[in-house]
């Protein structure tokens, strides 16, 4: 009876519950936030860069290995290879940059011509300026001093420029000296034979006019080391091919080629594989 009354004590051990672990969702959200901020700063940085730098960066992402010239548009040879050549973004940007510099040089020359004409108001501001034709060519900026039937820059048959023409050419020389570009000068005539015959022909006349322009440019400030060539072409390169005798064929052309600056050279180096 005594044993029946004894109480049996059961000890129940329950496991302790620990605090729930934090998940990794906050790390993903933080990483997305940092990625977005980096992308934002990258966009803000790109907006402040020049077009040459943006084009160079775009060219890198289009061909990061610099091997598009070997494998087409895909840097990895094989199934995805195509024969289409990559877009020449770097070359185009450099060309646009060079054209922009030549355009600025054109405006500087026009400003200098306006200033030179303003010093001699009796002869009119637009008297000579309308006969100076400037155009950007693959060879550089071509400045053409074009004659007409009124003998604008030279008297008919004379290699000596008129005084007002000398002032204008000297003004051009001062601008070209500041640009630092290389200069080539060519003289041209029309097809009419020179009056003195064989002793002195259009060849000598065109060369002498080119040299006269060279001397005026040097007086204006052009350095001798900027000169590349001085040639006389007579009537062999008319500006009006359909009318070799037209007075507009009588002209002196000054071609200016600017050397690439440090930025252009850096972009060219970055674009090379």
Higher-scoring residue by pLDDT: 22, 106: 106
Query: How would residue 49 be classed by pLDDT, with cut points 50, 70 and 90?
Result: confident
Short-list 254, 269, 263, 272, CA closest to 53: 263
Block residue for tokens 């010093």 = 119
Q: What percent of the chain has pLDDT over 90?
A: 44
Query: 146: part of which helix (H) or strand (E)?
Result: strand 140-146
Instruction: Flag the least confident range among 189-203, 213-227, 256-270.
Output: 256-270
Nearest partner of 273 among 82, 81, 87, 63, judged by Cα:
63
CB atoms within 10 A of CB 80: 11
DSSP state of 144: E
Kindly state the helix (H) or strand (E) to which residue 231 belongs, with its residue range.
strand 227-232
Q: What is the pLDDT of residues 74-103, one digit of tens each?
A: 444 444 444 444 444 444 444 667 788 888
Specify the pTM. 0.61
Q: In what order do the strands lie in the sheet with 182-188?
A: 132-137, 140-146, 251-257, 182-188, 227-232
| pLDDT the model gives residue 229 | 96
Q: How far is CA 20 from the centre of its chain?
A: 65
Q: Where are the alpha helices (DSSP H) in the chain?
A: 2-5, 25-47, 51-62, 68-71, 89-118, 126-129, 163-179, 202-220, 262-271
Return the closest-CA partner of residue 113 out of 139, 131, 135: 131
Three-state secondary structure along 163-226?
HHHHHHHHHHHHHHHHHCCEEEEEEECCCCCCCCHHHCCHHHHHHHHHHHHHHHHHHHCCCHHH
The 10s digit of each residue's pLDDT in 174-212 is 999 999 999 999 999 999 988 766 788 999 999 999 999
Task: Name the DSSP letter for residue 161.
Answer: B
């Amino acid at each position: 009876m005594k044993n029946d009354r004894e109480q049996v004590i059961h000890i129940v051990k329950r496991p302790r519950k620990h605090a729930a672990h934090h998940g990794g969702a906050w790390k993903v959200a933080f990483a997305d936030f940092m990625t977005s901020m980096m992308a934002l700063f990258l966009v803000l940085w790109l907006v402040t860069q020049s077009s040459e730098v943006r084009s160079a960066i775009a060219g890198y992402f289009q061909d990061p290995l610099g091997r598009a010239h070997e494998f087409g548009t895909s840097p990895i040879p094989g199934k995805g290879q195509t024969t289409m050549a990559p877009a020449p973004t770097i070359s185009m940007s450099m060309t646009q940059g060079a054209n922009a510099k030549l355009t600025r040089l054109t405006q500087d020359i026009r400003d200098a011509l306006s200033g030179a004409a303003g010093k001699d108001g009796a002869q009119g501001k637009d008297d000579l300026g309308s006969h100076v034709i400037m155009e950007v060519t693959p060879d550089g900026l071509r400045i053409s001093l074009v004659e007409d039937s009124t003998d604008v820059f030279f008297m008919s048959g004379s290699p000596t420029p008129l005084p007002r023409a000398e002032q204008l050419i000297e003004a051009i020389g001062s601008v070209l000296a500041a640009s630092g570009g290389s200069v080539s000068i060519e003289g041209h005539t029309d097809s009419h034979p020179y009056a003195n015959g064989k002793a002195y022909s259009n060849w000598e006349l065109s060369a002498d006019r080119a040299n006269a322009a060279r001397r005026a440019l040097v007086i204006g400030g052009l350095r001798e080391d900027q000169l590349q060539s001085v040639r006389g072409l007579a009537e062999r390169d008319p500006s009006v091919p359909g009318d070799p005798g037209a007075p507009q064929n009588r002209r002196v052309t000054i071609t200016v080629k600017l050397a690439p600056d440090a930025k252009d050279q850096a972009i060219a180096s970055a674009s090379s594989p």
